[in-house]
Amino acid sequence: MVHRSKYNIQNHIKSTTNLYYFLFVTVNIYLVSLGMVNSNLNKAKNYCANYWSGNCMGAMMQRKEGKLVMWLDNDKKGKPCNANEGCDYFENIVVKSIDNG
């Protein structure tokens, strides 16, 4: 019979938990990269005209008084795409144009 101290068991549990978490994150990243996880970021990569190498180009559109108004949003321009956190352009323009969006 192998005797394990409380300290050894706690370290084993901690290292096993860290390993499972690492594997979970790695597999999810891999599935997203393959397009197997239907995240907003993946949809943006495939459908958003503003998506460029993971960053937002910042071109925004909105309809006001029957006219289409366009502008560059300097707060979003050149920054990482935030479709997963919430982006008005993505939600109002891109998602509505995707089948089953």
On the question of pLDDT at 17 being above 90, the answer is: no
User: Can you tell me the distance from the alpha carbon of 52 to that of 6, in angstroms, rounded to the nearest whole number?
Assistant: 52
Which residue spans within the chain are E strands per DSSP?
A: 51-52, 55-56, 59-64, 67-72
Can you give the residue ranges of every domain in the chain?
1-37, 38-101
What is the structure's pLDDT at 101? 44
Mean pLDDT of the chain: 80
User: Can you tell me the distance from the alpha carbon of 88 to that of 49, in angstroms, rounded to the nearest whole number?
Assistant: 14
Under DSSP, the state recorded for 37 is S
- Report the pLDDT averaged over residues 17-26: 70
pTM for the whole thing? 0.56
Q: What angle (nearest 5°) sits at the alpha carbon of residue 81, between those of residues 38 and 89?
A: 85
User: Can you tell me the distance from the alpha carbon of 96 to that of 90, in angstroms, rounded to the nearest whole number?
Assistant: 9
User: Can you tell me the distance from the alpha carbon of 27 to that of 88, in angstroms, rounded to the nearest whole number?
Assistant: 29
